[in-house]
Amino acid sequence: MRLPWPAVTGGLLAVAVGAAGLIRAAVPEPASAPASPSGPGAVTVVNAYVRAPIPPHADVAAAYFTVYNTTGRVDRIVRVLAGAGAAATLHTDVGGHMQLVRHGVAVPAHGKLVLAPGGVHVMIEHLFGELPAGEQVNLEVDFARAGPLDVVAKVIPYGAKPPS
């Protein structure tokens, strides 16, 4: 397990505790910057955002982003950690119902994967506090081949146009 990071930047700061009992701490990237390339070839995460929960005191939020895989091999998101809540899980929409994704999500070689409303997304559960628009949430996106990438997701109002 990597050392953790501040959960939320801006006016609110919550601290996540990892499975090993470590308290997370590191410096986040600016919200508009893509995650760093992850080794030979590159896997990057861009346009990350979290929709502010409705109502504002709700206990769950959803995160979305786009993954680019410029390598010649399929990779897979195997886990996402979110500094704003006690749990983060991958879900997908199947016939209008959310379904837990148990074995990760493939990112095609020389391709991209878009996590978006109505499709694959990250559910952040048991929020540590309110997530008002304008805050930032730190995510760690773990890939089977590329390893972990740190990502900063801006909290946007529910119903607002996602960043591009």
Q: Which of 13, 46, 74 is nearest to 141 (CA)?
A: 46
pLDDT in tens, the chain (164 residues): 343 444 544 443 333 333 332 222 233 333 444 454 545 469 999 999 999 998 877 899 999 999 999 999 999 999 999 999 999 999 999 998 999 999 999 999 999 999 999 999 999 999 999 999 999 999 999 999 999 999 999 999 988 999 88
The Cα 8–Cα 16 span in angstroms is 10
Distance of alpha carbon 117 from alpha carbon 151, whole angstroms:
19
